[in-house]
Amino acid sequence: MNGRAFSRRAFLAGSVALAPVARALAQARAQAPDPHIEDLLRQMTLEEKAAQLTIFRSPTASAAINPQGPHEPTREEALADAGRGMAAGYFNGFDPAFNRALQQRAVEDSRLRIPLIFAGDVIHGLKTTFPIPLAEAASFDPELCRRTARASAEEASALGLHWTFAPMVDIARDERWGRVMEGAGEDPWLGARIAAARVRGFQGDDLRAENSLLACPKHFAGYGGVEGGMEYNSVEISETALRQVHLPPFEAAFAAGALTTMTGFNDVAGVPSTADRHLLTEILREEWRFPGLVVSDFQSVRELIPHGFAADEEDAVLKAFTAGCDVALSDDIYVRHLPALVRDGRLAEAALDQSVRRMLRLKKASGLFANPYRSLDPGRAAKAARRPEALALARETARKSIVLLKNENNQLPLPKTGKSLAFIGPFVSDKDQTLGNWSLNGMPELAVSLEEGVRAALSSDARCTFTPGCAAESEIPGGIEAAVQAAREADIAVLYLGETGKMSGESAATTSIVIPHCQQALAEAVAATGRPLVVILKHGRALALQGAARDAPAVLCSWFLGSESGRALADIVFGDFAPQGRLPVSFPRAPGQEPFYYDHRPTGRPQIGDVTDFTARYREVANEPLFAFGHGLTFSVLDYGETKLSAPRLSRDGALKISARIVNRGGRAAHEVAQLYIHRRVAAITQPVRQLKGVQHVALAPGETKEVVFELRPSDLAYVQPDLSMRADAGLFDIWIAPSAVGGQKASFSLD
């Protein structure tokens, strides 16, 4: 297969199948009055209207997911509210029987019989748990992300949901932030493509279908920029960075048909996003003509008070609502204050109507007026859970998410016979930490541990041992001694080290992105045995590797891989599947380099060669990654030829073809991920040292050469100008086809 064909299919996938969603979006945009909805609006009281702008946490939601809030209904209260038309819907109740009971109350008992909508955080699957979103992004394959989102929608809709609070499309550039694991990494180009693919996957091609899940790209906007990576912290990003880095994945998600978005807990330059008129109205509604619904984050309306942006609840409601936040999540604050604000004349009823109209349109678009019991069939839940094809997809995705960071002396793959293997580390036999954070309804007890995956891959008489050595964050008595003994008795030692699921995700920011101390000590002790070493990392963020974990001849980055974790790891470790993942986040050399990302702007004093004094760097390390964005080895050896251009100049109505030959010089088949990067040399606002502009997947047999061809048009070279417009002005560019954000051969061209 030609690399170009593969890539085009992957990146364009969905645009054809999307037609019905695009039509729904176009209809929503047209804003033609819907007589049925207008009739309902005429009949609704102010209280009923405010209730349509409130989504409560389900009384069946697990307390482990969201902190218990001050105004959350019990089961009885929720049933009574539903019967009085006093809620728009509920979230995180993965219980089709209870959701159905609520729906029955809403459509049989309530005055206007408006159906409820059920939402939830479906972040990387449910009973079938896929790799964490960051891991999946390492596939550099949006089509794969579309497929896992589709499979997640199948299960979620069978568990009684119509709407997911996903994908999280925040660009994250500081690995101290725990929520790095929920997104697609540091790059806006890749992030935008994955965001769109996930939206298409969740929603399918018919929003009214039993298995469709409305998408909710979040958090609008700038949450990934929290200062110092500290959770819920302030954000100080320029309007230029907002538009060039943080907003593109949202635009892509809306263009792909997303009809909802969620605000964040953060402020941007002192204005909390839940009450940011510039974001929620000027950009979202006026510039982008977004027709959908804006929902707050979990009680983020009332959080305007501790933010110091609102004096009290009423002030918070007025500020959030008038800024453009249609719905309050997990809080009755809108119900208690919106009606009075309208009665006092401080809020126009027409504004309330407009938000209610959006909610009712959303319910209509997802088929709930026509069939309120859509996706509420308790009988479907068991049948839809953990279907063989979903588990096969989980394994495929997990394999494609693993990144081979290092492989000196072809240490990997390991032989299946003839050598004894010692698997060492707190996670070798563990199941609880396989799924990673945000694995709501995941079934860790059914997840495949590394030990199970390895044993299944080897014959029963294979010589392998599994020794924890320590717990994730503490020593165990005699642990290191037992691990050293196991390593000594084996031919090869494999260390499985890193983070627990709870060490990344919401509320899991860290000051230091390193392997926990006790595990590092274990690694040093095992390395000191002199046995050939392989390190497998488990993590929800890029780590700053030190000592034995960095210096081992072979290092695999494996994130949290989900239900099929152990099997996918064994597939790679024993060479049944060649690694093809690429880093969607840069691995720094030291934690103190964070925030650290490949597409930084050039400084006036870059470090060139060995000159270190008075250059932009830290004393201890060069301003370089340990492993660059886009990096990932195969089991073979690939050479990139010259980057060739179809012309030295690109005209305004033209297209530039960029090509390079890639040779597989090694003895094994390889799946290469070729990347196109550009750099604009001079600009009105300085532009990054490199920017990703294309990706192609290429399969190469041993000895085979293939040419990859990319195409660029002037619009691909646009950047945010000082007047905030997005334009490509004339200029000189450097360009690379490369295996990562470093390397590749440079060519140059000009845009007329």
Closer to ligand NOJ by CB, 297 or 430: give it: 297
Closer to ligand NOJ by CB, 260 or 434: give it: 260
How wide is the angle at C-alpha 129 spanned by C-alphas 535 and 469, nearest 5°?
30
Q: Which residue has the tokens 């263009």?
A: 255
Closer to ligand NOJ by CB, 92 or 433: give it: 92
Residues 459-518 that bind ligand NOJ (CB under 6 A): 506
Kindly report the number of other CB atoms within 10 A of residue 622's CB atom. 13
Catalytic residue of the set 81, 187, 297, 332: 297
In degrees and rounded to multiples of 5, residue 160 shows phi and psi of: 95, 25
Closer to ligand NOJ by CB, 65 or 699: give it: 65
Closer to ligand NOJ by CB, 207 or 329: give it: 329
String marking each residue 80-119 x if it binds ligand NOJ according to CB under 6 A? ------------x---------------------------
Q: Which residue has the tokens 């009281």?
A: 45
Expressed in angstroms, the distance from the first to the final Cα of the chain is 35
String marking each residue 37-76 x if it binds ligand NOJ according to CB under 6 A? ----------------------------xx----------
Smallest gap from residue 531 Cβ to ligand NOJ (A): 43
- Residue 321 lies near ligand NOJ (rule: CB under 6 A): no
Residues 391-430 that bind ligand NOJ (CB under 6 A): none
In the residue annotation, 599 being an active-site residue is answered as: no
Smallest gap from residue 165 Cβ to ligand NOJ (A): 4
Sign, CA dihedral 245-248-253-254, equals positive
Smallest gap from residue 95 Cβ to ligand NOJ (A): 16
Tell me the sheet residues that pair with 261.
294
- Residue 331 lies near ligand NOJ (rule: CB under 6 A): no
Which H or E element spans position 733? Answer: strand 731-738
- Residue 298 lies near ligand NOJ (rule: CB under 6 A): yes
- Residue 303 lies near ligand NOJ (rule: CB under 6 A): no
How wide is the angle at C-alpha 539 spanned by C-alphas 534 and 545, nearest 5°?
55
- Integer Cα distance of 137 and 144 in angstroms: 9
8 Å CB contact between 186 and 596? no
Choosing from 48, 81, 95, 121, the residue that interacts with ligand NOJ (CB under 6 A) is 121
Residues 156-185 that bind ligand NOJ (CB under 6 A): 165
Determine the residue type at 253.
A
Residues 590-649 that bind ligand NOJ (CB under 6 A): none
Closer to ligand NOJ by CB, 218 or 697: give it: 218
Smallest gap from residue 414 Cβ to ligand NOJ (A): 39
Which H or E element spans position 406? Answer: strand 403-407
- Integer Cα distance of 103 and 618 in angstroms: 59
Burial degree of 185 (CB within 10 A; 0-12, 13-18, 19+): buried
Q: What is the DSSP letter of 299?
A: T
Choosing from 218, 363, 374, 680, the residue that interacts with ligand NOJ (CB under 6 A) is 218
Sign, CA dihedral 196-562-496-407, equals negative
CA 465 to each of CA 3, 450, 451, 576: distance values in angstroms, whole numbers, following the listed order: 41, 12, 9, 21
DSSP letters spanning 165-195: ---B------TTSGGGGGS--S-HHHHHHHH
Tell me the sheet residues that pair with 734.
679, 748
Smallest gap from residue 747 Cβ to ligand NOJ (A): 42
> By Cβ distance, which residue is nearest to ligand NOJ?
165
Closer to ligand NOJ by CB, 130 or 223: give it: 223
Q: Are strands 89-91 and 117-120 parallel, antiparallel or unpaired?
A: parallel
Smallest gap from residue 664 Cβ to ligand NOJ (A): 42
- Residue 297 lies near ligand NOJ (rule: CB under 6 A): yes
Smallest gap from residue 177 Cβ to ligand NOJ (A): 12
Under the rule (CB under 6 A), what is the footprint of ligand NOJ? 65-66, 92, 121, 165, 218, 297-298, 506
User: Annotated active-site positions, please?
Assistant: 297
